[in-house]
Structure 1
């Protein structure tokens, strides 16, 4: 059984209570970082149950049809369920300092304002006006090809995926995979088992990597290994909208 007594209160308080110094260090070192538990099993089940309520979503994507892998996902409309909206709003200000620091190291612009609403308005003004928040469903045999969630010029360099089912109980396999293209070296891969209710913060496109000449871009892609049995649902929080 999960001990969820520490999860009472608002979503924003749970996100704020994370060890952000440690998470920032993990992001700098590896390009991804696993949070402590953010959602209770019951909260996870309520989000999962939304999948069959199509009024919450603007479109459904069959991954096999588009050669993205196998499985299905749905993009939420802008009328986000409260828990999804609260998670996104709580993560943005915590990830903003990392985003700005990475941009400074790479000598890139850092266009992100203090508030998420203002940043989303900037995305819409640039022609990226469709919600990119996503609910994914995998069954046995499904997988997700390595990719990046880049939907236009307006880009936030970090995003979050939250596990909604329990590994080893609801499903087997289905590890979250990241690959990093290293300068003048072979690519490096990592695999993370995503516990129920925990979030994985990860690089959207590339991250700063120390090199002899200073900081270089470390391009990264993410995907999901083959689900061996059961079902696997995840919630994806993206901080820029889609064209």
Structure 2
């Protein structure tokens, strides 16, 4: 039998000095896993506080914290811009990425078994990052995205190299209806011999969406098949919107 819906998150992982581990451990992981299996994404309410949101958004002007800045319109990615953090990462970024990974790795390994992909991911994030670095993927990928009225992010996948962790997390740092309008997080799922399915994910300030990077398994009548997903952001109608992206593999 193919594993599609078994909840195997690392609930008994050792608690370290990372202050975000207790917060992450308290999340409803059975629900998150079920939604990932069923829809390719899951929401987490209030993963970080409004004050943490503001502190992260304010980092955007700190050029010394980032390794590169991308203006989307120059590359055909959409409109708006984003910056990739440099190492060492800010404590909140490093803490969240390290705390979330042990729960998501169980889903990632289960999905790969279901899709007959031989790759398995180690239990600890630092060991996976070591694997990336040994393969030449040494540039950190966590980022902050900034949008203003008229900006949008085209549908895409964040791959960056041979070693790809199949799940990532985005956290909304701005308040819909107050700081901006429009700008919804959007996913599309391309199914074999079927029309694509769209998913619009509502988020509030501090909420996170956990979602598929590239592909996930789906149980069909004739067994498991693979579907491909892309994500983006719809056009901002007004205001300004900041988002943090937590990607668990590094880039070449």
Q: TM-score range by the shorter chain?
A: over 0.9
Match of 1:93 in 2: 102
Deviation per CA, 1:143-171, whole angstroms, max 9, x where unpaired? 00000001111010000000100111111
Asked if 2 retains the 8 angstrom alpha-carbon contact of 1:11 and 1:38, the reply is no
**What is the alpha-carbon root mean square deviation over aligned residues?**
1.0
Secondary structure class of the residue paired with 2:96: helix
Where do residues 1-243 of structure 1 align in structure 2 (5 Å cutoff)?
A: 10-243=19-252
TM-score when normalising by structure 1: 0.95
Deviation per CA, 1:109-153, whole angstroms, max 9, x where unpaired? 233111111110100111111111110000010000000001111
Secondary structure class of the residue paired with 2:114: helix
Mapped to 1, the partners of 2:20 and 2:56 lie a distance apart of: 14
Asked if 1 retains the 8 angstrom alpha-carbon contact of 2:143 and 2:245, the reply is yes
Mapped to 2, the partners of 1:182 and 1:134 lie a distance apart of: 29
TM-score when normalising by structure 2: 0.91
Once the two structures are overlaid, the 10-residue window that deviates more, 209-218 or 9-18, is 9-18
1:223 CA drift (Å) = 0.3
Count of residues in correspondence between the two structures:
235
Asked if 2 retains the 8 angstrom alpha-carbon contact of 1:167 and 1:193, the reply is no
Secondary structure class of the residue paired with 1:141: coil
Once the two structures are overlaid, the 10-residue window that deviates more, 211-220 or 74-83, is 211-220
Mapped to 1, the partners of 2:22 and 2:240 lie a distance apart of: 30
Asked if 2 retains the 8 angstrom alpha-carbon contact of 1:106 and 1:216, the reply is yes
Asked if 2 retains the 8 angstrom alpha-carbon contact of 1:158 and 1:203, the reply is yes
1:192 CA drift (Å) = 1.2
Which structure 2 segments of 5+ residues have no match?
A: 1-17
